[in-house]
Amino acid sequence: MSNTDNPFGGGYGAASGAQTVSFGTTPNGSAANAGELIRDTTTAGFSKDVIAESKTQPVLVDFWAPWCGPCKQLTPVLEKVVQAAGGRVKLVKMNIDDHPAIAGQLGIQSIPAVIAFSNGKPVDGFMGALPESKVKEFIDRIASPDGGRDEAVRSALEAAAHAAEAGDLDQASQIYAAVLAEIPDHVPALAGLANCLIELGDIEQARIVLERVPADKKDDAAVRAAEAKIALAEQVATLGDPVALEARLNENPKDHQARFDLAMIMNAKGQRNEAADHLLAIMKADRAWNDDGARKQLLQFFDAWGAGDEASATARRKLSSLLFS
């Protein structure tokens, strides 16, 4: 993955050259211009210009007409404040003389009327020619001051996740670290970076990263999953040779400790289904073994794998069948 895929740019631990999130910019970091922020629309173009666009950022629709004196006062104010907002909102103007249908559907009976759309739906609005200060208050109410940064963070987290899935853990780590340079307590980025470090074998650094998670966010599912992975990695380090464990099982299929240790090693190697099956086999043979240790370990696997993991779902079904059959 190239740095063009990373909205934050820069590298993990880089002291210089790293781009940071810039306020007053569009999500890709380039300065917003009037052509991108302000446009006229038609009845046919409303779905694309307003409904679809508002799913990315709030869109103000200015319903006006050429004969409307207050409209002529309000429109320049709207344009000025929208441009000053630097990409947090967009402005779409609709001449209701030429395109009356949308205004009629929204029940607009007098102009100027401004309706704010977000996530494809009208969420707020006002009528009349408000002064610039009131227009600014309206925009600040519907668009977070950090809207541009929020979009950049979202894009960065997606890029990091794609990099991790592709096996490019260094690139993913760089992106997560860049997010944390902007928002040090960002929980998804902390968990993401910790997971990358675990996969890279740097357990101690992963533990340090997780220590930065705010106390009231320690129960976050991604954080718990990373902590479970650390615990599993530490356990696996003491287990020994899988070939020797296989030999012990061949000699004695009731050697539950050998089977348990082999399950731990298989999990560490990413063989989740096989690891779960070994623990389920212990439970089937002797539920009480090691104080119900096989079931407890399987539940720890579920925490580490995450509820949405296919291996978790498969093993949970098998566990239910075993417990309730």
C-alpha distances (whole Å) from 309 to each of 104, 272, 280, 306, 322 are 48, 10, 18, 6, 20
231 burial (CB, 10 Å; 0-12 / 13-18 / 19+) is middle
C-alpha distances (whole Å) from 126 to each of 31, 99, 240, 277 are 28, 20, 70, 62
Angle between helices 187-199 and 169-182 (to 10 degrees): 150
Question: Which candidate, 212, 192, 194, 217, places its Cα nearest to that of 204?
Answer: 194
Question: Which candidate, 218, 215, 146, places its Cα nearest to that of 183?
Answer: 146
- Listing DSSP states for 210-267 in one string gives HTTS-GGGTT-HHHHHHHHHHHHHHHHTTS--HHHHHHHHHH-TT-HHHHHHHHHHHH
C-alpha angle 20/21/26, rounded to 5°? 135
Which residue is it, tokens 């441009």?
Answer: 83
Active site residue 196: no
Q: For residues 76 and 82, what is the distance between their CA atoms, to the nearest angstrom?
A: 10
Specify whether the CB–CB gap between 164 and 192 falls below 8 A. yes
Angle between helices 242-251 and 256-268 (to 10 degrees): 150
Specify whether the CB–CB gap between 176 and 189 falls below 8 A. yes
Q: For residues 125 and 106, what is the distance between their CA atoms, to the nearest angstrom?
A: 11
Q: Which pair of structure tokens corresponds to residue 243?
A: 């070939």
Which of these is catalytic: 68, 111, 156, 178? 68
Which of these is catalytic: 60, 71, 177, 191? 71
Catalytic annotation, residues: 68, 71
